[in-house]
Structure 1
């Protein structure tokens, strides 16, 4: 942890040197998905960005507790305090239990992130698993005088809170501006102020997901869930809170308000936000008809791009843009990323074949430090990738005999590639895995043949059945054993 890391903090609008509250321990909370539909590319960009941050902090020697929640209740339509629960609405349409919807899309979310080679968080709590903590938090906020009940619904009193704290501290807007620009919403008449938001919502008889509380049967507000779960697993104050930039004006602003009203402390020291996606310069959205899902990006089954792109190409494309900049999908940009990714992976593949010389034309130590310098400047992955292309140039030059490298620098070059390409950027050579498959299967077929020759039918059957479970079918004939994908 000798590196000096600087992070852009949305709270202060400046880059600040990262100083962990309780080094080497780091607490990081990232708002997870509401599991009522397939995870979209904007979500993926956020979680790939925080995967990079998680990986780099771990590489620096920090012991990171990464908490990313699953919202499986309480998130209403239009992100408001009224309307139908997004998961319940989907469940009614499909005529299934709400938890079936939540489970289906949680599994799908995990599958997509696994394809993108993101590491799982340390803890992945669900909103429904923390109803008690949320109720206790509402009780404490009420006891502190910052919330009130109206007919079974508990509202947060923003204007009263703002007398002691700054409600617009994260968004940079003052209360008068926020009040002026707030439109009237349903349930407005029972609120004390136009900006007040629900901590606990009284459930209508037809509402599917509801729990008993001191204020009657109801369910938690969307913002409350993250406050309760981040506090339970990371304490009154933790190091990093993250999410998409769209969460700043309301969700994260309300989280800060809830935590300060309850625990008298701002929850996180550093607030980190990823920017939005665009398609050919336009914001990606369903209403504009220019959005597509991860699997549609992989297969090319969309009307925006000319073809599909592999998961690692997409991850590389996302990391080529800084997490705080907009990321624009387009044919030219994707094709350029595909070429760049292949060029980098080709160099990585050549690395093992390089031979050390008695002399060297390169010193790899400055290259390593430049890689660190890039990431220490607010996780600047585009600059890091540019440095890795320099590493790629060195690999190709040594391979072609145009440059010499001694044993010490060759070992350091291999270490740089492993650290920054594999472990921190999380990139892997997809083609290598495909190319190696026939060799691996040939080895397994030969093992099975040997087992059968030794009359070890238990091992023979175990190999056959195991391969079948992962989609490979073996077929025995007089000519020998062949394999095919199921």
Structure 2
């Protein structure tokens, strides 16, 4: 394992802390996954890509990582998971499908979208419906510990009782007396002892399709329960990292902590991590408000927001140019700038393949490499990492122009480090890669068109020459005329 000290911003302590895993050389990480009742939007994708970066970097450092990310397919209720309609059931009625057809349809969409982003699949992807027994067992244990009560077939967590010996609100920094306004009343308002209490198990009304037998009658689990059940089942009662979107900090993650502490008498997670929002036109991306864009609409250009299509890898690169804990607002101008930057990085990387070596280096590659690791070790600071990667492009240009020299060993280290961070850690994809069969076929086809254009120019048929250039440009292929002939570039 490479000897680098990693520091993570812990949302619980609100400070950066040196990362020390519970088990040496191994990491347990849980991330709250999607509720699969609609197409995943870019705001969701940013969260999952943030933790894909964490997953990739931990693996790069040599850790054995068990990454668990759930699928919420039981359908938690609206209004903070306490009341209202189940979004999966609502969608099932609209589309005249079985609830699990809705779940399957949008789970496939989620997987397809994340694959386009070249995100690694988690080690385990459990579903809420596959862990009903475990959730019932946790409810029974919390009742046994005296922190929950049953009323009319539903079970509620007793927040006031819990707060007598524990601290409810420590993750979000909220005080219990200030939380009443944040707690939604249930349809059966008299069932709760206190408005702050939250549902562990809900009685299923006659119209509720998804229901399971339990000691308290037929019903379904509360929203917060599934993550406690699945994280502790696969990672233990105390594990290293729990991640999710900033919007889940309260009430979801706060309730997870309370459930786990009530049941297991120990803090469930050592490092809480929260990814910030992706905003559109300065407002939070949200399905409920309609202020969102779907990834495929971005990739195809079929939207009224952006000036042109943007590839998954450019979109991902754009997101990583901001720190995962900062709010990121996107616009066509910002994406176009990212696209240019991405192409510049890829050009620089390819340029290194043709660099001549010398006996000595005039560039300090070892120091540059350490700066790349320092960036990622500072709470996964991808924008600083990317700034350092652009320094490598400057190296490449200087070496090509023979303004600097580099030894064979240092060139190998430069290439390997750049490759590791671009493709293994950031998970970017070189859209111009000629290593693939598709890339080779494209290069061959464009080369034929370049020859036809050269012939047209030799015959002074400039209209034909311009037509070929413009037709290729319309398809995202840019021709570049230089002293050594004409080359092409696929615009991402």
Counterpart in the other structure of 2:235: 234
Q: Is this contact kept in 1: 2:82–2:184, CA < 8 A?
A: no
User: Structure 1, unaligned stretches of length 5 or more?
Assistant: 444-486
Q: How does 1:17-416 map to 2 (within 5 A)?
A: 17-179=18-180, 181-182=182-183, 184-286=185-287, 289-416=290-417
Q: Retained in 1: the 8 A contact 2:35–2:75?
A: no
1:259 partner SS: helix
SS of the aligned residue for 1:269 comes to strand
Query: Residues 65, 41 of structure 1: CA spacing in aligned structure 2 closer, same or farther, 3 A cutoff?
Result: same
Task: Please give the alpha-carbon distance, in whole angstroms, between the structure 1 residues aligned to 2:52 and 2:125.
Answer: 14
CA distance in 2, matches of 1:61, 1:398: 32
**Cα pair 1:74 1:219 within 8 Å, conserved:** no
Give the Cα–Cα distance (whole angstroms) in 2 for the partners of residues 36 and 433 of structure 1. Answer: 39
Q: Matched residues in 1 for 2:179 and 2:235: separation?
A: 30
* Contact kept? 1:290, 1:304, Cα under 8 Å: no
Of 327-336 and 173-182, the range deviating more from structure 2: 173-182
Question: Is the CA contact 2:81–2:222 (under 8 Å) kept in the aligned structure 1?
Answer: no
2:50 aligned counterpart, secondary structure: helix
Q: Please say which of residues 220-229 and 86-95 is displaced more in the overlay.
A: 86-95
Q: Give the Cα separation in 2 of the matches to 1:120 and 1:84.
A: 30
Partner of 2:440: 439
- TM-score normalised by structure 2 residue count: 0.87
SS in 2 for 1:270: strand
1:404 Cα deviation after fit: 1.4
1:171 alignment partner, SS class = coil
1:306 Cα deviation (Å)? Answer: 1.1
Secondary structure of the residue aligned to 2:432 is helix
Describe the shift of the 1:118–1:8 C-alpha distance in structure 2 as closer, same or farther (beyond 3 A).
same
- TM-aligned CA deviation for residue 58 of structure 1: 0.8
Change (3 A) 1:184 1:214: closer
Encode CA deviations 1:75-124: one digit per residue, 9 max, x unaligned.
Answer: 11233322222112211222221111111111110000000011010000
Asked whether the equivalents of residues 76 and 83 of structure 1 are also in contact (C-alpha less than 8 Å), the reply is yes
Query: In 1, Cα distance between the equivalents of 2:135 and 2:177?
Result: 30
The answer to whether the Cα contact below 8 Å between 2:35 and 2:73 also exists between their aligned partners in 1 is yes
Is 1:74–1:220's contact at 8 Å kept on the other side of the alignment?
Answer: no
In structure 1, C-alpha distance between the alignment counterparts of 2:330 and 2:137, rounded to whole Å: 44
CA shift digits 1:252-290 (9 cap, x unpaired) = 000001000111111110000000111232333356554
- Work out the CA distance in 1 between the residues paired with 2:396 and 2:147: 62
| DSSP 3-state at the match of 2:230 | helix
> How has the CA–CA distance of structure 1 residues 94 and 181 changed in structure 2, closer, same or farther, with 3 Å as cutoff?
closer
Match of 1:478 in 2: none
Matched residue pairs, number?
443
1:82–1:187 CA contact under 8 A, matched in 2: no
CA–CA distance in structure 2, aligned partners of residues 130 and 255 of structure 1? 16
Answer yes or no: is the 8 Å Cα contact 1:275–1:324 preserved in 2.
yes
Aligned pair in 2 of structure 1 residues 136, 182: CA closer, same or farther (>3 Å)? Answer: closer
Give me the whole-angstrom Cα distance separating, in 1, the residues matched to 2:274 and 2:77. 23
Distance of 2:133 and 2:22 partners within structure 1: 28
Whole-Å Cα distance in 2 between the matches of residues 226 and 344 of structure 1? 39
- Distance verdict in 2 for CA 1:4–1:157, change over 3 Å: same
Following TM superposition, by how much is the alpha carbon of 1:155 offset from its aligned partner in structure 2, in angstroms? 0.6
The answer to whether the Cα contact below 8 Å between 2:432 and 2:439 also exists between their aligned partners in 1 is no
SS at match of 2:150: strand
Per-residue Cα deviation, 1:376-405 (whole angstroms, up to 9, x for no partner): 110000000000000111012212222211
Shift of 1:185: 4.5
Q: Distance in 2 between matches of 1:303 and 1:343?
A: 28
**Rounded Cα–Cα distance in structure 1 between residues aligned with 2:61 and 2:38:** 36
Superposed CA RMSD = 1.7
1:185-208 per-residue CA deviation (whole Å, 9 max, x = no partner) reads 533321001111111111112211
Instruction: Please give the alpha-carbon distance, in whole angstroms, between the structure 2 residues aligned to 1:53 and 1:6.
Output: 12
Q: Aligned equivalents of 1:73 and 1:139: distance in 2?
A: 20
Q: TM-score, normalised by structure 1?
A: 0.88
Cα distance in 1, alignment partners of residues 66 and 418 from structure 2 = 26
